[in-house]
Structures are given as C-alpha cells and as structure tokens.
A and B are shown apart, each in its own frame.
Chain A
Amino acid sequence: MSHGDSIPFHSSSQSDIDEIENLINSDALSATVPTARPPSPPRASFPSAALAPPYQKVPRSFSLPLPPPPVDPSAAGPRPGGGVAADGFGSPTDTLTEPVLDTVKRDLTRIVINLKLVVFPNPFREDPGKALRDWDLWGPFFFIIFLGLTLSWSASVKKSQVFAVAFAVLAAGAVILTMNVLLLGGRIIFFQSLSLLGYCLFPLDIGALICSLKINVVVKIIVVSITLAWSYWAAYPFMSAAVDPRRKALALYPVFLMYISVGFFIIAID
C-alpha cells in the first residue's frame, strides 16, 4: 500500500510506527506468518466486538521494543500509511487534518475496491479468501442504511417501522447466515462473511432506488428480479466455496431466501 515491503533492518532511521512495524515484520524475532503484502495500517473495521470467535488464533501482537531512535527528518514527514507520527519519538504532530484525511481516503478506497471485487466480475472471484481479505464493515453499513432509507422513503405509511424492520432483518439476517455457514462446518471468517453479505446488497440498493421512482409494478418486478439475480450471483462463489460441496445448497438457500424477501419488500412498498 503506502509503505514498501523492503525496509531494511536497521534501527537508526525510523520514527514512525508503521516503519517500525515493517521492521518487526521483517525481523526474524517476530513470530508472525510473513504476509505477502505489507501489514496494513489501522483500518476502520466496524464492530469488532467478537474478539474471541471460535476459530481465532492466538493474537499475534507487536510492540515496538526499540529505543526511540534519533529523529530522522526525512522519515518524520506525514506518511499516508501511518498518518501522523503520533508517538513520543520526537516528531510533533502537526495538524489533525492531514492524517485524518489520509485515513479517510484510504478507507474510502478500500470500500470501493471491496465493492468492485465482490459485486463486479473480476479475476479473483473464484478465490474468495483472496478477494475479500481486506474486509471492512463500512461499505455494508452504508448500504444497509441506504436500503433502509430508500425503502422508508418510498413507503407512504409507517415509515419508521419500515426502516427499523429493514435494518434489523438485514443485520440479523447477515449474522444468521454467517452462523449457518459456520455451523455447517464451513470455513469462513465471521466478519469477512458479514462484509461480503453487506456488499452484495449493493445491487438491491440500486433496485430499491429505481423502484422508488414510482413506476409500474411490472417494471418493478423486472428490475427487482434483475438486481436480485445480480446480488445472488455476487454472493454465490464466496458462500459456495466456504462449505463442503455436498452442503452447498444448505448454505446457499438461506442467502437466496433472504435476498428474495428483501426483493419482495422492495416490490411491495408503495
């Protein structure tokens, strides 16, 4: 991403957390599995409340056990990767805006990338692990809220109930679908799956938006069917790859069911 892989192992010229993190990674002392890409800077991953999911490995942790090196002016500038040199290493934090903007930009980029990976055709589709490795829950958050808002706006009565029901059904549905896959003995990471199911709502968002334009019911049905098929097509490879081939249908049917219910919801709202 923003910082290179090849930071050499010397301790003299680093004043930024991320550089030192790379150092630790390249250090033989660290016990981590070396990753193919540089360790990412913090991501605004959404509720990470379940810090001990059943499959969690012992967290590999880093600290920075180096004495503060002499401040290197060339490395002390704000870096897009780590943002502010928010440490006691001597380089003062200038303004909050710069690093925040960088972090925001990075997160937004990640949302777009994830969206493209999940919803649109791309070479990584058959390898779900690779495709959504950088999961984040901001995209799904926006899409669920957007869908709820669109449905609520299209509804002529009981607007708040429509919104609350849509949000609760989608959120609970995503969690339940993930648990379903896990209980079927599938191998998928909880948050990755939540993230995936959230991103697959994007076509339905578009469908809901079009349907909110007060059009004919038949046209609505056609639009919703197309977007539904698109959503399902987006979710299919990831879910099916996660479980045993014999249990594929068991994992995929509930997903289909959920999307169809949302589709009906969209059509029925007037």
Chain B
Amino acid sequence: MDRVQPSGENYANPRTCFFHVLFKAAALAFYVLSALFVSSFVIIFVVTVFLAALDFWVVKNVSGRILVGLRWWNEIDEQGESVWKFQCLDQESLARMNKKDSWLFWWTLYLTAVSWIFLGVFSLIRFQADYLLVVGVCLSLSIANIVGFTKCRKDAKKQIQQFATKTIASQFTSSLQSAFSVV
C-alpha cells in the first residue's frame, strides 16, 4: 500500500528534525570540545546544562508533537494527586506519520543518552566529580524524555487497541439492532 507522502525518502518536517538534533548535538559538542577552549568550569556547566534543558523542552513540546504525535505531561488534580497524562494522535494520523521522522526522533533520543553515559564513564575514570555533575544532569534530562515518550507510545497503542475493540463491539451491536429493527 502506498504511503500518503510522496516518498519515504524525505523528511516531512525537516526544520523540526533539525532543531530536534541541533540542541542535543550542541550540548554534546560543547561539552566535549570546551575542554580545549574554555578553561572555566562554570561556563562549561552552565552552557551545557542550558543547551540540554533547551533540548529537553524542544523535544517534549515541539518535536514530540510534530514528529511522532505524542505528548506527555504531569498534572495535579483537585484531590492533590499527581496524574501523568499521555496523549497521542488517532490511528490514522499516527499511521500517516513519516517513518523517517519518527526513526530520527527515536534514534537520536537513544543515541544521546548513550553518549552521555559514555561521557559519564569517561569522567568517572578521570575522577572528575564536577564533570560528572554536568553529565548527570544532562543524562537525567535525556532519560526523562525517553521514559516519557516510551510510556506515551505504549499507552497510545493500548488506547488504540481498546478503541478498536470498542468500535467493533459497538458496530456489531448497532448492526444487530438495525437488523432486528428492520424485521
């Protein structure tokens, strides 16, 4: 069956993809290269963590929505209980999502976390607690997004299944009713 998009080779949202990757790459690049140029740890810390926070925000609010149609957040309801909300597009829109977009989305997410882990191990070996702090913060931000979106995706699949079952059941019932009412 042909894809709705003209071809699977092109990104549907190149600008979003670009921004999605930009801040992650910038944070990693700055962290790695800054040791060569910048002597002040404070600057390294602030800039890296700021870029990582910016990336977190972009992924959560913009590229998650546009590239994979998922969204997650936390709310506190009237009773003062914490509620995690997940949201996704409906079945058809999800199916229409560009495969390349979502491939890029998920793979860069995982790659970033792995890179930070790697850099963390590196700084652990060198006994640099300061840099471990930076890596720790960036890693927790990446992992937060990964966990959030994974849960959201699982939830979306479950919802779609439930909806499908419900639709089939209701259609079946209504067709039965109409069959009997005609008679």
Binding site for B on A (CB under 8 A): 17, 21, 32-33, 35-36, 39-40, 42-49, 51, 53, 55-57, 59-68, 83-84, 86-89, 93, 96, 99-100, 103, 107, 129, 133-135, 138, 141, 145, 148-149, 152, 159-161, 163-164, 167-168, 187, 189-192
Question: Quick one: which of B83, B87, B92 contacts A63, CB cutoff 8 A?
Answer: B87
Q: What secondary structure prevails in chain B residues at the interface with A?
A: helix
Whether B175 sits at the interface, judged by CB under 8 Å, is no
Question: Quick one: which of A61, A135, A187 contacts B87, CB cutoff 8 A?
Answer: A61
> Known: A64-B88, A145-B49. Is A36-B62 also a contact (CB below 8 A)?
no
Instruction: List A contacts of B19 (CB < 8 A).
Output: 96
For chain B, the bracket of interface size reads 35 or more
Which of B29-37, B103-111, B116-124, B156-164 lies at the interface?
A: B156-164
Whether B7 sits at the interface, judged by CB under 8 Å, is no
Instruction: List B contacts of A67 (CB < 8 A).
Output: 90, 92
Q: What secondary structure prevails in chain A residues at the interface with B?
A: loop
A-B interface contact total, Cβ < 8 Å:
180
Whether B93 sits at the interface, judged by CB under 8 Å, is yes
Question: Quick one: which of B40, B90, B160 contacts A68, CB cutoff 8 A?
Answer: B90
| A51 contacts B85, C-beta separation under 8 Å | no
Complex Cα spacing A24 to B13, Å: 28
Residue of A nearest to B53 (CB): A141
Whether B24 sits at the interface, judged by CB under 8 Å, is no
1/0 per position for B124-161, CB-CB distance to A under 8 A?
00000110010000001101100110010001101110
Residue of B nearest to A48 (CB): B144
What would 14 more interface pairs be, CB under 8 Å, given A42-B60, A49-B144, A61-B155?
A: A35-B78, A36-B78, A42-B73, A43-B73, A59-B84, A61-B158, A66-B90, A67-B92, A68-B90, A88-B96, A96-B16, A133-B76, A145-B46, A164-B133
